[in-house]
Amino acid sequence: MSLEYTSAEMMTVTAARALQNGMACFVGIGLPSEAANLARLTHAPQVTLIYESGTLQTKPDVLPLSIGDGELCESALTTVSVPEMFRYWLQGGKVDVGFLGTAQIDRYCNLNTTLIGDYQSPKVRLPGGGGAPEIATNAGEVFITLKHSPRAFVKDVDFITTLGFGRDGKGRDNVPNIGRGPTRVITDLCVMKPDPDDHELTVVSLHPGVTREQVQEATGWEIRFAADLETTPEPSERELEVLRELKARTARAHAGK
Amino acid sequence: MAEFLSLHDAVARYVEDGATVAMEGFTHLIPFAAGHEVIRQGKRDLTLIRMTPDLVYDQMIGAGCVKKVIFSWGGNPGVGSLHRLRDAVEKGWPNKIEILEHSHAAMACAFEAGAAGLPLAVLRGYVGSELPNVNDQIKFIECPFTGERLAAVPSVRPDVSIVHAQKADRAGNVLVEGIVGVQKEAILAARKSIVTVEEIVEDLTEEPGYHPNACIIPGWAIDAIAVAEKGSLPSYAHGYYPRDNAFYKEWDGIARDREAFTKWIEENVMNAGEKA
């Protein structure tokens, strides 16, 4: 029996499945936070979620709107200062995986959240780096999730806010004390992984019903497909139920007074 | 020793035109009442430091108080852009502002280094990022022991830091609870400091729930304390009131339009007085 679900739900469920029970995950706000909490509420109850506001081992009942919502602190094991969070917990090597979103990503997984256009006279000014530049290099590995579109997936990002594998794919070579970097990118169409040799993003799995042409149309360069291209497993009934309840609770909580 | 002043007098005394000012609070306990007082007093040419400029700096930028912003994430959390910040950067309204941007890790370390009285902060940061190309305050140094290449940024040493906290006692000691961000570091790094509080109690150590490891800033490390009830709305105060997420969403519409913004400031800040 096939279940009804949206491409956004497919993306969140697939992103959630990337997290394993027992991992310590430094969570970005938005889609990563949605996926990480879905993982915690389904197959990975022992996942440790860490947000840059200092909340350590947090278990929010509703998704936070901001990275520092009170819910994160109230449901955390403890809350530390922001310098401690970045210095001891992240830079100290206690984080297995950083889970990030982005505005732009390129074929070498470099992330741009700074601006579109030229730095001195930007077409669009974006919020900036936040925690991402050091999450991406100090966490053991990095998962990235975002919606697939030609505006987001560009051959070369306008600005490297956060390192994937650099302009030539070799940005991590011979750098000491650096994490493995991006190991998978999850979108509403597919799952991609950097090629083990040259680090160029390669589609390894298409979501059910998605064609190669659709992925190519939504990508700003000629995207590679793995020789053993797979179909991403569908969401389960339980995953969809938990995700929908989480989103409904969140919508009610943020509707305001 | 902390002196109890009105918010008006604290800002008038310690925030001078042209000063470097850090108003901290990581999403939580953002000192909005103090920011509004700075706008009301028409302060100009400020260099504002804050990890996440948030709505408070958006308002101060739009009101023309600012010449430069040093930050690491300039958005409306969970909503989108800071439109006043963008308008100033992209179009120079109401005046052109200079920006200097960092990552969170670097700014957090820079506040800590400021509190520690050091000239610089060292971190394993900015590897492969192009931020060092556009920010000449990011340098790389070699560890004298291991030879590892590490990032260095100047410490944050504001002329004045302003934070909001839950309570102070009669001796001027301040309790900060919940997400503590870099508030303590900001106060200790600054030449002068103002703390606004929800309320004043007799003695913090006699309060129910007091804990020996509580985040306390001693009164002798603070210059001025001012009571500002609900002083961090639409941000929140852990244990007092929740974040007004609906207003954060509403701000997007107000801040997009120069006229709507100007009218909002006029009604809610300029004509509202200190009790707003």
The C-alpha atoms of residue B21 and residue B69 are separated, in whole angstroms, by 10
> Is the per-residue pLDDT at B275 higher than 60?
no
**A231-240 residue pLDDT tens:** 999 999 999 9
CA distances, A190 to each of A78, A134, A151, B160 (Å): 36, 26, 17, 50
Selected catalytic residue, list A9, A52, A134, A239: A52
The C-alpha atoms of residue A100 and residue A111 are separated, in whole angstroms, by 9
Instruction: Output the pTM of the full model.
Output: 0.96
**B109-159 residue pLDDT tens:** 999 999 999 999 999 999 999 999 999 999 999 999 999 999 999 999 999
Which residue of A65, A112, A115, A160 to mutate against B (max B Cβ within 10 Å)? A65
Could you say which DSSP state residue A153 is in?
B
Which of A67, A74, A125 faces B77 most closely, judged by CB atoms? A67
Instruction: Answer yes or no: A84 catalytic.
Output: no
**The tokens 């504002």 sit on which residue?**
B48
* Cβ atoms of residues A113 and A157 within 8 Å: no
CA torsion, ordered B94, B99, B101, B106, to nearest 10 deg:
-110
**A83-123 residue pLDDT tens:** 999 999 999 999 999 999 999 999 999 999 999 999 988 88
Which of A72, A82, A119 faces B108 most closely, judged by CB atoms? A82
Structure tokens at A166: 């650099």
The C-alpha atoms of residue B4 and residue B57 are separated, in whole angstroms, by 25
CA distances, B59 to each of A154, B10, B55 (Å): 34, 20, 6
| Dihedral pair phi/psi, residue A8, rounded to 5° | -65, -40
> Residue A166 pairs with which residues in a beta bridge?
none
Neighbouring C-beta atoms of residue B208, cutoff 10 Å: 4
Sign of CA dihedral A39, A41, A43, A47: positive
pLDDT bin (cut points 50, 70, 90) of residue A256 is low
**A123-154 residue pLDDT tens:** 888 999 999 999 999 999 999 999 999 999 99
**A14-25 residue pLDDT tens:** 999 999 999 999
Q: Which of A93, A13, A89, A4 is nearest to A53 (CA)?
A: A89
Shortest alpha-carbon distance between residue A125 and chain B (Å): 6
Residues in chain A closer than 8 A to B238 (CB atoms):
70, 73-74
Q: Could you tell me if B136 lies within 8 Å of chain A, comparing CB atoms?
A: no
Q: How large is the average pLDDT for residues A154-180? A: 98
Angle value at C-alpha A187, between A184 and A193, nearest 5 degrees: 25
Which of A128, A162, A175 faces B74 most closely, judged by CB atoms? A128
Looking at residue B274, its pLDDT comes to 65
Looking at residue A257, its pLDDT comes to 45
CA torsion, ordered A145, A149, A151, A154, to nearest 10 deg:
70
